[in-house]
Structures are given as structure tokens and as C-alpha cells.
Amino acid sequence: MNISQRYRMFLPLLLSAAVLISPADSLAQVRTADPAARGVPLSAFPRLVKLSKHVYGYEEIRQPGFTTVSLIVLGKDGVLIADAQGSAAATQTMLDRIRTITTLPIKWYVVGSDHGDHTAGNHVLPTGIMYIVHPTSLAQLKRDSAAATATRPVVVPPMAMTGNVQVVDVGTTEVEVRFLGRAHTGGDLMVHLPKEQILFMSEAYLNRVFPAMRSAYPTEWARTIDAALSLDRVKRFVPGHGFIEKDKRSREELVAFRDAITSVITEATRLKSLGLSADEAAKRANWGAIGSWFLADQQGPVAVRRVWAEIDGQLR
């Protein structure tokens, strides 16, 4: 059964042009990144999820059918965005949806992840905005820019942040952009809103999505999540992929994701000890419960190779 067929099982929702859902709407949903299994039709996306008076999450569907999440903070005189979407069209749609909740200009942009599914549409963002980016991600964007085309340009911020915390006073609340350690990309930035007790984790947190390790630092990733879990004044952890959850459940799911990373490391290490080739190891991997998570078939072999590279000291 393909994705379109699966969605015919669900009655379409009556939606406005700018979908806005309350956090309570997800209380009874099953724990999965699969919209169909969760009972959410594709027609519900993109949608804004109100997290507080001035803060919204933005969920948009990307192929093969799970969400990419952005964070939107409404300031006194402007808007801060953390992560955009994976194409110019998707990012423009996000900007159009933001216009349904405020007429304020976009002033700040946080590069939580430097991967294309979060940055490929950045060239449609307004010019002259302030970019906040980790040095590692800035270096990657420069490399990406060298291979870019006229139809798929890469926006390279003028400079990187210094230190591990940068504070942005947007007028309505204080925003702390934090680097807690290497995780999914190496330049992973998170947005902490102490007043609202929210932490947007970008791709350091993939809710019910199999740990994607193409550019990851597996052992450090688990430690970075532990650092996030130990932060004061955080009740709600917002992922870069997968559904936005309520406070308690968001912590539970983040712990489950941290445990998924450690279980991947354990299984890949076991397979390496057997003297198998990487291809054979990927075929014989037993991922247990997380084997049913989104992208497990695709990301499992990638994870095996990445963990092996870490064991062999090839990650710098």
C-alpha cells in the first residue's frame, strides 16, 4: 500500500489556508513519525503549532512522508526563524504562513542544521537578516556553495558565532542559541527559550525517526542529548523531524531517541566484532524495536558504517 492509498483511510480535515493546531490536539496520538499511523492526513500540512504566546512550531511534510520542523519566534519588531525547509517553494510557503500570524519582518535566522532539507530554500529569505551559525556549519555551507548552481544556490552567512551561547533579545522574550556538542551534523545549534521553557533541537532530535548518521558523531550525539536533558528551564523539547509533542511526552520521546542512538552503537559494535563486511553487517543487524521506526531500512546501513568509522578513529 503506497502513501496515497494509506491516506484515503482517513477522513480529510476541514482546514483553513493557514493550518493552526493546539498542543492539545496531539495528546491521544500514537508514538510514531508516520502521519498515516498517527491519524493525520497529508492535507493537514503544512501547519503551525502554537507553543506559547510568541512561539510556534512549523511542521511540513517532506519525502518519503514525515515532517521537517522549523521554529518561529515572534519578537517586538521582527521574527526569528530556526531552520527553514528543503526547497525554495517549501520555504516560501512557510514565509507565507508566517504572514498569517504576523506582519513583522524576518530579522534573525538560526542555522540549526546545515543539511539541505533545512537550508536549500534559504535564498528566498529576506536579504540583510542576521544569521547565527556554528563555525562547523559555516564551513560546510561554504563547501556546498562551491558546488551550487544558479537554480539551487547556497546561502553562506557572513560570519559564525563565537563561543557556545549567543543571546538574542527579540523584544518579547530572550532567545539563547546554544551549542551543546556535536550530534547529527557537527555544527548542531539549538534554540533555548528559558521563559517559555522550550528547547528547539533541530536535527539533534529526530522524533521516532531512525538515527540518521551520514554526518553524525554517534557517541557524542548521545552525550549532546544528555546535555539537553540536563538543561534547567526546559519542559518541552522540539524535534527537527517527527511530530511536536506535549511537555512530558517530548522528554520521554527524547530519552527514547537517545536510547535508540546508544542501541545503534551497541549493535554496530557487536557486528564489527564478528569480523563481517559492512554490507553483511547491515544485512544481519538486529535493531529491535527501533527497526520499525521511520527510515530504518535506509538509515541502518549508514549507521553501521558511521559507527565503525568512529570506532576506527576516522571521525575528526
How far is residue 315's CA from residue 147's CA, in Å, rounded to a whole number?
Answer: 23
Residue 66 phi, psi dihedral angles, 5° rounding: -120, 175
Q: From start to end of 201-247, where are the E strands?
A: 236-238
Q: What is the rounded CA–CA span in Å between residue 85 and residue 222? A: 25
List all residues 6 or more positions away from 296 whose beta carbon is below 8 Å from its beta carbon.
Answer: 210, 287, 290
- pLDDT at 12 (0 to 100): 34
The structural domains of the chain, with segments of one domain joined by +, span: 3-248
pLDDT value of position 64: 86
Distance between CA atoms of 187 and 164, rounded to whole angstroms?
A: 11
**What are the φ and ψ backbone dihedral angles of 308, each rounded to 5 degrees?**
-65, -40
Please tell me the predicted confidence (pLDDT) of residue 90.
97
Cite the beta strand spans of the chain per DSSP E.
19-21, 47-50, 55-62, 66-74, 79-82, 106-110, 130-132, 165-169, 174-178, 190-193, 198-200, 236-238
pLDDT tens digit string along 30-58?
A: 999 999 999 999 999 999 999 999 999 99
Angle at alpha carbon of residue 19, lines to 49 and 176, rounded to 5° = 30
Q: What is the mean pLDDT of residues 169-191?
A: 98
Averaged pLDDT for residues 94-112: 98
Three-state DSSP at 8 gives: coil
Please report the pLDDT score of residue 28 as a whole number. 58
As a whole number of angstroms, the distance between CA 133 and CA 129 comes to: 13
Give Cα 128 distance to the centre of its chain. 25
Query: Judging by DSSP bridges, how do beta strands 66-74 and 47-50 pair with one another?
Result: unpaired
Q: How far apart are CA 155 and CA 119, in angstroms?
A: 8
205, 227 in Cβ contact below 8 A? no
Query: pTM to 2 decimals?
Result: 0.91
| Phi/psi at 282 (5° precision) | -60, -35
Q: Which of 69, 62, 33 is nearest to 240 (CA)?
A: 69
Q: Over 70: is that where the pLDDT of 296 sits?
A: yes
Task: Give the mean pLDDT of 65-69.
Answer: 97
Instruction: Please give the CATH number for the structural domain made up of 3-248.
Output: 3.60.15.10
